[in-house]
Amino acid sequence: MKNYDSSQHVQGTSLFLDDMTPPEGTLVAFVAYSKVAHGKIEGLYTAAALGVKGVKAVLTAKDIPGENQIGGILKDEELLAHDKVDFIGQPVALVIAENKLQAAKAARLITMDISPLPAVFTPREAYALGSLIMPPKIFSLGDIVEGFTTADVIVEGVVESGGQEHLYLETQCAMAVPSEGGSLKIFSSTQGPTVVQRVVAGVLGMPMHKIEVDVTRLGGGFGGKEDQASAWAALAALAAWKLKKSVKLVLPRQEDMRMTGKRHPYSSDFKIGLKIDGTIVAFEATYYQNAGASADLSPAILERTLFHATNGYYIPNVKATAVSCKTNLPPNTAFRGFGGPQGIFVIEAAIYKAAEEMGIDPLLIQEKNLMKDGDEFPYGQIAEYFNLRKTFERACELYNLPEIKSKVKQFNRGQILRKKGVAVMPVCFGISFTTTFLNQASSLIHVYTDGSVSVNTAAIEMGQGVNAKIHNIVQKVLGCHPERIRIDTTNTSRIANTSATAASKGADLNGFAAKHAAEAIYERLKKVAAGLLGLAEEKNVTIKSEIVYNADSPTTLTWTELISKAYMQRVSLSAHAHHATPLIHYDKVAAKGRPFAYHVTGTAIVETTVDCLRGTYKIDSVKIVHDIGESLHHMVDLGQVEGALAQGIGWMTVEEVIYNNQGRLITDALSTYKVPDIHAAAQDVQIEFLENAPNPYGPLKSKAVGEPPLMYGIGAYFSIMNAIKAFRPGETFPITAPMSPERVLRYVCREEFAEMEQKELQL
């Protein structure tokens, strides 16, 4: 079984929040939300809802005892709108009833008088109106003006990338259980238990120590629950506090899709300058981020876009400007890659367009400019244990790129209506929270007198296998049998001040913390064992498979005896440890430093076939060489690379978040929002982990895995584009993602569509 909890999952015995048996008399909450994208609330009518059988209360902003505020980076987001609404789906009132049906019915009966205000939905419109989340941020290296004067070729263009729905299988949910003295225990489907604790404490005007947040596991988060789980927990908590009853809130799928933010759509301008030999001498880009109605994590996401403006290429002169634009849409939020994919898509598009202009293969430009160890990023960090070029060369050799390309050419010569494309996608992703202080974690380990072990950390299990990894680490250190070790729920009373499980740092940070705690206990056990064995010192004592060894010879002392003796000798069998990523620092004003512990790199080769009559396509194969350091768990890491790849292909090719001109989400169900299914997935996925690449900055020499492989999906975009260009030689196309079948059809049948549009206009 690949995961720590796989066998429970397949037996259906794993507990997700909505499966837990709620305390007797638990009430159910439903949210009433704005149907207008921007406007002033003139009236809010709740009488009809209160008349529904079983309804206990309807709560509004007026009922909040503390601050009506859930913003993290900026305090700009109300829990319940009090006089103005800023997007369709914004919570305005909360209905609490005995059961779901009553609550849902009552929520529908709440009506609002809202006088509309002008609304804006695209980032460039918002920018023109001066509607910004914060002032623009600029990154620069070298001299951009001077850089362009040395270029032989200069290409400019526009790149559009779309949003993406997280579509975690478990929708947003929380349950609040009141306890003694006004304190509350909150069960929440959150990646950030401390975020929830802080927000709930703020909303209720209580100290954080009265709020205990507990998380068993998530049915997926993908960033959507890094900052956006707190509203639902705070609403459940508000109701529980008010009514002195347990309250559960589970968003139905459609409401989750309507009310929560997604990956940020970006609209970007680029200008790239190159020497005739393909050397990039200057790169300039401006990113307009569609932040939605409040800041959420947008400023940090924007910053990560800047960090990834040059992907893994060395460019001596760079100017990257990023603008977070405030629009009347749900606040967009963290999504696997956190702004990195949006930045990487732009530089890859610039390289693609430059290659088109120069009449060469983009591969030549990519290859020419790949960074190597010792090169400097625009933000001042030096590449170390980088391996990007190694993965690139290895991928080209292992998968025989020249042969792949010649087969594609041959196929295209022999076919009229079907064309193949191939693209190479190098990826470089910085590992650490760019907000330096978040790079800390702690762990609390108890060994009980029977020899069983309980491990607590800040890590949230959301399917990514962080528990399996931490389990492996602790087992390796302690030397007991794996079955003895239990990873406990993530709980703010046991582990305080947690950073969200995000930025791919879950296993890194918590793995290190757990390792430190386990080592502290192990050192004490060695001392006890040395005493029991009559050895002068504990230096040569080890524990392997529950047997105590002296030097390399087994003794008769076993794990359970040792634990029991240690307890009798009054030696502590518990340890708490803290880990803070060493060496990292970042000066936000100078925009220089060493923000990342290290980088994850890799290269994918993506082959696709386009049906040029129908606009449909297939991802034939994705062949990857990926740097994982020394893997903490081979199966889990393979699963992460495959999953991230599927999600990246989805973002780039099939998934399309569409709002109408009133700001209403029209892709608010699985019938209208297409996610990659088995047909969209690559038919052949091959993954090799780079060999002999120990990473001294990761636990047990590993590298983080969660987010970086998503960006291999960008290769699918350019691969399909290449197939289209084989059908329409000599033509160029705008770079707009997703490359949906509809868009492919428009590209391959350009004249036909132009004609139809002309006819429609005449009608």
Task: Give the residue numbers annotated as catalytic, written as ranges.
Answer: 707
Contact 269, 123 (CB under 8 A): no
225 to 230, 329, 501, 571, 614: CA distances (angstroms): 8, 18, 10, 40, 38
List 503, 563, 575, 646, residue binding ligand LUZ (CB under 6 A): 503
List 335, 392, 673, 697, residue binding ligand MOS (CB under 6 A): 335
The one of ligand MOS, ligand LUZ, ligand MTE, none whose footprint includes residue 715, by CB under 5 to 8 A per kind, is none
* Contact status: 296 vs ligand MTE (CB under 6 A): no
Contact stretch for ligand MTE (CB under 6 A) within 134-142, 425-433, 459-467, 692-700: 459-467
735-736 and 153-161 as β-strands: parallel, antiparallel, unpaired? Answer: parallel
Question: Residue 754, exposed/middle/buried by CB under 10 A (0-12, 13-18, 19+)?
Answer: exposed
Q: Which is nearer to ligand LUZ, 166 or 389 (CB)?
A: 166
282/147 Cα distance (integer angstroms) = 5
* Contact status: 137 vs ligand MOS (CB under 6 A): no
* Contact status: 644 vs ligand LUZ (CB under 6 A): no
Residues 6 or more apart whose CB falls under 8 angstroms from that of 588 comprise: none
Count of residues in contact with ligand LUZ, rule CB under 6 A: 12
* Contact status: 223 vs ligand MTE (CB under 6 A): yes
Residue 403 gets the label, from left (phi > 0), alpha (psi -120 to 50) or beta, of alpha
Contact stretch for ligand MOS (CB under 6 A) within 165-173, 334-342, 529-537, 631-639: 334-342
Residue 758, token pair as written in the block: 């002309």
222/230 Cα distance (integer angstroms) = 15
What is the three-class DSSP state of 624?
strand
* Contact status: 274 vs ligand MTE (CB under 6 A): no
Give the x-and-dash track for 610-649 against ligand MTE (CB under 6 A): ------------------------------x--x------
Residue 370, token pair as written in the block: 């790949």
The one of ligand LUZ, ligand MOS, ligand MTE, none whose footprint includes residue 433, by CB under 5 to 8 A per kind, is ligand LUZ
Residue nearest to ligand LUZ (CB): 338
99/102 Cα distance (integer angstroms) = 6
Residue 559, token pair as written in the block: 């794990």
* Contact status: 162 vs ligand MTE (CB under 6 A): no
* Contact status: 245 vs ligand LUZ (CB under 6 A): no
Q: Least separation, in Å, of the C-beta of 121 and ligand MTE?
A: 26
* Contact status: 706 vs ligand MTE (CB under 6 A): yes
Contact stretch for ligand MOS (CB under 6 A) within 8-16, 333-341, 611-619, 741-749: 333-341
Q: Which is nearer to ligand LUZ, 137 or 304 (CB)?
A: 304
Q: Which is nearer to ligand LUZ, 328 or 498 (CB)?
A: 498
The one of ligand LUZ, ligand MTE, ligand MOS, none whose footprint includes residue 300, by CB under 5 to 8 A per kind, is ligand LUZ
* Contact status: 300 vs ligand LUZ (CB under 6 A): yes
418-431 and 490-491 as β-strands: parallel, antiparallel, unpaired? Answer: unpaired
- Alpha helices per DSSP H over 221-339: 230-243, 253-259, 298-307
Q: Least separation, in Å, of the C-beta of 134 and ligand MTE?
A: 23
Alpha carbons within 13 A on the beta-carbon side of 196? 37
Handedness of CA 117, 122, 125, 129 (dihedral sign): positive
* Contact status: 338 vs ligand LUZ (CB under 6 A): yes
Q: Which is nearer to ligand MOS, 503 or 509 (CB)?
A: 503
Q: Which is nearer to ligand LUZ, 427 or 503 (CB)?
A: 503
Residue 399, token pair as written in the block: 């998968």
Q: Least separation, in Å, of the C-beta of 302 and ligand LUZ?
A: 11
Q: What is the CA radius of gyration of the chain?
A: 27
- Residue 325 main-chain phi, psi, to 5 deg: -105, 130
* Contact status: 505 vs ligand MTE (CB under 6 A): yes
- Burial of 540-562, coded b for 16+ CB within 10 Å and e otherwise, reads ebebeebebbbeeeeeebbbeeb
Contact 494, 446 (CB under 8 A): no
Q: Which is nearer to ligand MTE, 225 or 394 (CB)?
A: 225
Which H, E and C letters describe 484-524, residue by residue? HEEECCEECCCCCCCCCCCCCCHHHHHHHHHHHHHHHHHHH
Contact stretch for ligand MTE (CB under 6 A) within 77-85, 246-254, 495-503, 669-677: 495-503
* Contact status: 222 vs ligand LUZ (CB under 6 A): no
Residue 248, token pair as written in the block: 């559960």
List 46, 189, 191, 197, residue binding ligand MOS (CB under 6 A): 191
Q: Which is nearer to ligand LUZ, 304 or 326 (CB)?
A: 304
Comparing CA positions, the residue from 343, 327, 324 lying closest to residue 270 is 343
* Contact status: 586 vs ligand LUZ (CB under 6 A): no
Q: Least separation, in Å, of the C-beta of 676 and ligand MTE?
A: 14
Length of the chain: 763
Alpha carbons within 13 A on the beta-carbon side of 226? 31
472/475 Cα distance (integer angstroms) = 5
The one of ligand MOS, ligand MTE, ligand LUZ, none whose footprint includes residue 566, by CB under 5 to 8 A per kind, is none
Interactions with ligand MOS, residue window 503-532 (CB under 6 A): 503
* Contact status: 507 vs ligand MTE (CB under 6 A): yes
The one of ligand MTE, ligand MOS, ligand LUZ, none whose footprint includes residue 261, by CB under 5 to 8 A per kind, is none
Q: Which is nearer to ligand LUZ, 304 or 471 (CB)?
A: 304
Q: Least separation, in Å, of the C-beta of 23 and ligand MTE?
A: 28
The one of ligand MTE, ligand LUZ, ligand MOS, none whose footprint includes residue 304, by CB under 5 to 8 A per kind, is ligand LUZ
Contact 58, 235 (CB under 8 A): no
What is the three-class DSSP state of 400?
coil
* Contact status: 336 vs ligand MOS (CB under 6 A): yes
Q: If you search the block for the tokens 């770079």, which residue do you land on? A: 735
Q: Which is nearer to ligand LUZ, 435 or 542 (CB)?
A: 435
Q: Which is nearer to ligand MOS, 190 or 472 (CB)?
A: 190
Q: If you search the block for the tokens 């209506």, which residue do you land on? A: 417
* Contact status: 502 vs ligand MOS (CB under 6 A): yes
Contact stretch for ligand MOS (CB under 6 A) within 247-255, 330-338, 416-424, 536-544: 330-338
* Contact status: 242 vs ligand MTE (CB under 6 A): no
Contact 323, 266 (CB under 8 A): no
Which H, E and C letters describe 33-85, residue by residue? ECCCCCEEEEEEECHHHHCCCCEEEEECHHHCCCCCCCCCCCCCCCCCCCCEE
Interactions with ligand LUZ, residue window 303-322 (CB under 6 A): 304
Count of residues in contact with ligand MTE, rule CB under 6 A: 22
* Contact status: 334 vs ligand LUZ (CB under 6 A): yes
Contact stretch for ligand MTE (CB under 6 A) within 85-93, 176-184, 216-224, 246-254: 216-224
Contact 548, 412 (CB under 8 A): no
Contact 155, 350 (CB under 8 A): yes
Q: Which residues contact ligand MTE by CB under 6 A?
A: 220-223, 336, 462-464, 466, 501-507, 640, 643, 704-707
Query: Could you list the residues that contact ligand LUZ (CB under 6 A)?
Result: 226, 297, 300, 304, 334, 338, 433-435, 438, 502-503
Interacting residues with ligand MOS (CB under 6 A):
191, 221, 223, 226, 334-336, 338, 502-503
